Amino acid sequence: MRESSWRPEPGVERVRVTGRYPDVDGGRVRVVAGDVTDAGSVAEAAAGHDVAVQVAARLDVPARDFFPAAARALVDGLAGAGVSRLVALGIGSLLEVAPGVRLVDTPGFPADARTFSLGHAAELEVFEGSALDWVVIAPPPVILDAESPGTGRYRVGGNRVPAEGGAAFSYADVARAIVDEAERPAHHRVQVAVFT
């Protein structure tokens, strides 16, 4: 939200609990309560906008349930609101390490992380089966740094785990990549890697 609050176009952020975001600039970004798994709530939030951004996760709901439910609600709700573009936050473990081999499918990939990753995979399948103009931004499969203000720079790759790049990546740089893609669409109906 902070990244979008610095941009020239105003936006609406739909969240479950509005009180968690008191430091967002109220003049540029309006924070309202909503449910990303409810198509009606999505349509209400999206009405009058050109693009939607999905970065939600629910750790209290199994990933295999939450992510595809959110994807279905986004597809239906955005269609109902006349919004044809979606930029979604993905996960680096769905990037390929070799042609046709996702990181999540490699031997030794942690079981608990696999479950969460497969929830994201189910979300991606819903998007692929829709008519929506979507892009999934996948940060590298590293621990994201929540404290760093970010570098302000990133690179966009294909659907592969980047061979180069740092061992860390910041939430701030992921946010910048997402908002940049929302403002200047460059990728359509694909998952793309972002990295430093």
pLDDT for 167: 64
Residue 7: is its pLDDT beyond 60?
no
| Residues facing residue 54 across a β-bridge | 88
Token pair listed for 99: 């042609």
Q: Please state, as a whole number, how many other Cβ atoms lie within 10 Å of the Cβ of residue 155.
A: 12
Per mean pLDDT, which of 148-152, 166-170, 191-195 is the most reliable?
191-195
CB 97 within 8 A of CB 103: yes
pTM to 2 decimals? 0.86
Structure token digits, residue 177 = 């990549």
What are the domain boundaries of the chain? 52-195
Q: Which CATH architecture has domain 52-195?
A: 3-Layer(aba) Sandwich (3.40)
The highest-confidence range among 8-12, 113-117, 171-175, by mean pLDDT, is 113-117
Query: 3-class DSSP state for residue 179?
Result: helix
Compute the distance between CA of residue 87 and CA of residue 188 in angstroms, rounded to an integer: 9
